[in-house]
Amino acid sequence: DARWVNQSGALFKITYDGRWLLETNQTYSAIENKGTIRKEESTGTLLMQALVDNSGNIELESGTWQLDGPVENKGSILAASDTTLHISKTYLDQPLAVIATEGHLWFSGTTESSSIQGNFEGGATTTLECKEIQFLPSSTLIALGERVLIQKGKVVLNSGETIQMLNLTLTDQGRVTGSDSIEISNQFLWDTGTQLAGDKTHISQTFTEWYASSHPDEPRILLEGSLINKGNLLWSQGNT
C-alpha cells in the first residue's frame, strides 16, 4: 500500500481546495505526518480519502478539511475559528493527543465508531452523528462545544467531567449515555425518538422544548439519572 510521509520538522502547506482520492476497490493509502500539515488561504473544501497517522501537527486555518479516511491521532489537530473540521470515518487517539477547534467540528461516520482518550476541546459548534463516539475515562474533555447537535448515533460520556454547553439539540435517534453530568445554560431542544441516559444529573438552566421532528411516533426516553429544569419548559409535541 502507498504511504506518504511528512517527516519531523517538515511543513506541508496546502493552499488549494483539492481532493486526495481513494481509487475504486483499493485500500486506503496512508499519510504519515510527523511534522506539520497546514491548510491555509483557500476557503473551500479539502477532501482527503486516506488513512491519516498523525504524530505531529495538523492545522486548519481556513475553509473546510474533510478527513474521509480512518484517523489515528498521537499528536495535535487544531482548527481556527470560522473553519469546519469534518471527520467522516473512524477517529482514534492516544492519551496525550489533542484535538481542539474554535469553529465547527463535525463527526459524520454513521457506520463508524470513534473513541477519545486524549484532550478534546470543541469550539463554536459540534455535530456528532457517528455510529458511536466514546469519551473514555483517560480523556480530558475541556469542552464538547458551545452549541452541540447529537443525531443518528450514540455519544458515551465517561470523561469524569461535568459537561457545560450553551445549547444542546438531541434529535434524529441520537442517544446520550455515560457517567458525566451535562449542564445546558441556554437552550435544550429534545426531539422524539431519542434517548438521554446515564446515572448522573442533567440540568437545563434557561429553556427546554420537547418537540417532534424526525421520528414523531417514537417517544423521547429519559433512562436513569435525573433531568432538572431550572427555567422554562415547553412541551409542544411528541410523547415522553
Using the structure block, give the residue that is written with the C-alpha cell 482527503: 48
**pLDDT above 70 as % of the chain:** 98
Q: What is the mean pLDDT of residues 188-203?
A: 91
Is pLDDT above 70 for 196? yes
Is pLDDT above 80 for 230? yes
Is pLDDT above 90 for 2? no
Q: pLDDT value at position 12?
A: 97
pLDDT band at 94; cut points 50, 70, 90: very high
Q: pLDDT value at position 95?
A: 94
Q: Where are the beta strands (DSSP E) in 152-236?
A: 154-157, 163-171, 175-178, 182-191, 195-197, 201-204, 207-211, 221-223, 226-229, 232-235
CB-CB neighbours of 8 under 10 Å: 10
